[in-house]
Amino acid sequence: MTIEWGWFPDHTGELVRLTADHLATAVPAVLFGLLIALPLAVLAHRVRPLRGFVLGASNILYTIPSLAFFVLLLPVTGLTRTTAITGLTAYTLVVLVRNTVEGLDAVPARVREASRAMGTSPLRTLLTVELPLALPVIMAGVRVATVMSISLVSVASYIGYGGLGQLFTDGFQRNFPTPVIAGVALTLLLALVADAVLVSVQWLCTPWLRGASGPRRPKLRKRA
Amino acid sequence: MLELLKNLAAWLTSSAQWSGPEGIATRVLEHLEYSVLATLAAAVIALPVGLLIGHTGRGAFLAVNLASFGRALPTVGLVTLVFLAGGLSVWPVYVSLVALAVPVIITNTYAGMAAVDPEVKDAAKGVGLRGRQILWQVEIPLALPLIMTGVRLATVQVVATATIAAYVSFGGLGRYVFDGLAQRDLVQVLGGAVLVAVLAVAADLALGGLTRLLFRGRPAAAR
């Protein structure tokens, strides 16, 4: 199997377009996933009886094959990008909901009580105390969900919205490996870059975790 | 929409559809064959690696990165690539399914081993257990729930993804999905998709039951 390098210069435009397409499917999926997962997770965290139900439901969504998901949505949304995004969104839920619930669980009860004792409203406690403290665990989920979405977009090539996945179909039908290799390599690269971007975002959002190592220590220690 | 559901129900329940060499029963068995063999092969490769990394504590960086690399690797691309490289054989199917399952099992095995309380390992060393004894009698039993979670996750993903066998002209439940797409026969596509989903959920429940059976009599905290 050889790579025909001559193929690349002729197809730069196509590669750029497909990469943009790929992102236009994967990124909204993660954003919508977050939009749905955050309230669900808060609900599961606050209302104990709902917890098992919410986590179980998102688990079942995950067992439905990605290809089957797209196909099952066909009668509802047809051959559109919406189908691809909806399917991927459902897929991100399992990681996002689970990680957000775990992140909220890990916030020490003392911290929550202290915030309430100072007269902060429950909503404000959630937004300014609990969610920021849960952020590292939530972001770990966002990273997994993003990488997974980027990889799964190619499955949507069967319904015509596969982004770089279109290259696989193309190479397969013409028995020509070069576009397939290009597609795999670009997908991996995209996942790597997206992951790095998310790590930077997390770094920017959690200034309190920066210090020499781990949580900030009281300055007194240095003198001792 | 209702009409479609009615047709789907008729498709799923007609006896003609279930029997014969192209029937659902045959396709389910083919699907299970790909899935079981691929998951077993992945477990044979991944379990020793995960245990070794967890036991020695070396290569953890590799394990974590392998996992995210594995998640990013598009299975459709891989199967196409192996197919174009090796020609018409069942290998592309197994290679890509194993590549899908290995990272999941390795990371969960490693996570299970890493979660074993170091004090417990120290205590085991203190009462005179050797490295291998600690691995088999202390670490593995304690890590087993997470290891099984990894195997379960991998199985579900493999069952769900084994539809790609049909993409490179083999059998399994993916046949209905791809043939249906080619023939613009939505009922057949949906039928295949539903069957795959049911099979994936069933495999998950079966392994869940097996796990519970393995941990019968253990305190709830260890589960």
Enter the tokens of residue B43: 């477990």
**pLDDT, mean of residues B198-206:** 89
The closest alpha carbon to B162, from B26, B58, B39, B12, belongs to: B39
Exposure letters B63-91 (e unless 16+ CB within 10 A, then b): beebbbebbbbbbbbbbbbbbbeeeeeee
Q: Report CB contact under 8 Å: A64, B160.
A: yes
> Amino acid identity of A108?
P
pLDDT recorded at residue A222: 44
Q: Is residue A155 part of a domain?
A: yes
Question: How far apart are the C-alpha atoms of B133 and A89, rounded to whole Å?
Answer: 45
Percent of chain B exceeding pLDDT 70 equals: 97
Q: Examine the pLDDT at A223 and tell me if it is beyond 50.
A: no
Q: Is residue A223 part of a domain?
A: no
From the list A75, A154, A192, the residue facing B77 with the nearest CB is: A154
Q: What CATH number does residue A183 fall under?
A: 1.10.3720.10
Q: List all residues 6 or more positions away from B11 whose beta carbon is below 8 Å from its beta carbon.
A: B17, B187, B188, B191
At A53, which helix (H) or strand (E)? helix A48-63
Question: How far apart are the C-alpha atoms of B208 and B211, rounded to whole Å?
Answer: 5
A151–B contact, CB cutoff 8 A: yes
Phi and psi at A121, nearest 5°, equal -70, 155
pLDDT recorded at residue A31: 96
The closest alpha carbon to A130, from A218, A210, A45, A52, belongs to: A45
Question: How far apart are the C-alpha atoms of B205 and B207, rounded to whole Å?
Answer: 5
Best A25, A67, A188 residue to mutate vs chain B (most B CBs within 10 Å): A67
What is the extent of the structural domain holding A48? 12-204
The larger pLDDT score, comparing residue B52 to residue A221, is at B52
Question: How far apart are the C-alpha atoms of B151 and B185, rounded to whole Å?
Answer: 35
> Mind listing the pLDDT tens digit for each residue in A79-135?
888 889 998 998 899 889 988 998 998 899 999 999 999 999 999 999 999 999 999
The larger pLDDT score, comparing residue B131 to residue A38, is at A38
From the list B77, B80, B156, the residue facing A187 with the nearest CB is: B77
A18–B contact, CB cutoff 8 A: no
pLDDT recorded at residue B149: 85
pLDDT interval class at B218 (50, 70, 90): low
Question: How far apart are the C-alpha atoms of B71 and A147, rounded to whole Å?
Answer: 7
Q: Report CB contact under 8 Å: A187, B74.
A: yes
Handedness of CA A78, A83, A87, A89 (dihedral sign): negative
The C-alpha of B128 sits at a distance from chain A's nearest C-alpha, in angstroms, of 35
Q: Which residue in this structure is represented by tokens 């965290």? A: A45
B12–A contact, CB cutoff 8 A: no
Question: How far apart are the C-alpha atoms of A211 and A209, rounded to whole Å?
Answer: 6
CA A5-A10-A11 angle, to 5 degrees, is 90
CB proximity under 8 Å: B 74-113 to A: 74-78, 80-81, 83-85
Q: Report CB contact under 8 Å: A184, B77.
A: yes
Q: Is residue A145 part of a domain?
A: yes
Ranges of each domain in chain B: 22-222
> Mind listing the pLDDT tens digit for each residue in B96-143?
999 999 988 998 898 888 888 889 989 998 999 988 888 888 888 888
> Mind listing the pLDDT tens digit for each residue in A166-211?
999 888 888 888 999 999 999 999 999 999 999 999 999 888 887 6
B190–A contact, CB cutoff 8 A: yes
CATH 1.10.3720.10 fits B22-222, yes or no: yes
Within a 10 A sphere around the Cβ of A115, how many other Cβ atoms? 19
CB proximity under 8 Å: A 162-181 to B: 164-165, 167-168, 171-172, 175-177, 180-181
Q: Examine the pLDDT at A218 and tell me if it is beyond 60.
A: no
Chain B residues with beta carbon closer than 8 angstroms to that of A1: 81, 84-85
pLDDT recorded at residue B61: 83
How many domains would you assign to chain A?
1
Enter the tokens of residue B4: 């479609």
B74: DSSP letter:
-
> Mind listing the pLDDT tens digit for each residue in B135-174?
888 888 888 888 988 898 899 889 988 988 988 888 899 8
